[in-house]
Amino acid sequence: SLMEDSEPRVGAAALRGLARWVQAADSEEARGRALLLLSVGLAHGGAAGLAALDALMQIGGEDAVALAQGALASPDCEIAEAAVACVGRHGGRASLPLLLPLLGHVHWNVRARVAQVMEERRHVHAMPALIQKLDEERDEFVRAAILTALASLETH
């Protein structure tokens, strides 16, 4: 019922609280109910979408990653960046290539986050895409993130 509150911050707080509830309940039923509510939050976007992604980041697991993957295409740069972070932290190796097309995202923060995830996860298969993007990238922050990722990946 808190998700339906007229104040968006109340709904966002309720969504964030679901992560703690899932951890305390420690049951598959609670996890399933929480993921369903978080999918609704993601569908609403905005503050609810960000809160849902925060909760998914805390919950983890492949089912949480699957929900976050759906938010990768969001036109909201903060939601797309949070989805990249969630998939990057909790996704298996097979999910990392799904992030590479976002190196061409219109917003610099999403592109930089993808480079950081590739570095953190030591995904050496991302090197060709990072090199290609480096040639095209004009944003200095993103270029620095790509160069850092490439330097780190070269040593592995």
Chunked mean pLDDT (size 10), the chain, 156 residues? 67 84 86 91 91 93 94 95 97 95 96 98 97 95 98 91
Which one, of 39, 40, 32, 34, lies nearest residue 19 by Cα? 34
Query: What are the angstrom distances between the C-alpha of 80 and each of 10, 29, 47, 103, 151?
Result: 22, 28, 13, 12, 25
Task: State residue 17's pLDDT score.
Answer: 86
Task: State residue 4's pLDDT score.
Answer: 67
pTM higher than 0.75: yes
Task: State residue 2's pLDDT score.
Answer: 61
Task: State residue 97's pLDDT score.
Answer: 96
Q: Are 149 and 130 in contact (CB under 8 A)?
A: yes
Task: State residue 128's pLDDT score.
Answer: 97
Query: In angstroms, rounded to a whole number, what is the distance separating the alpha carbons of residues 51 and 46?
Result: 9
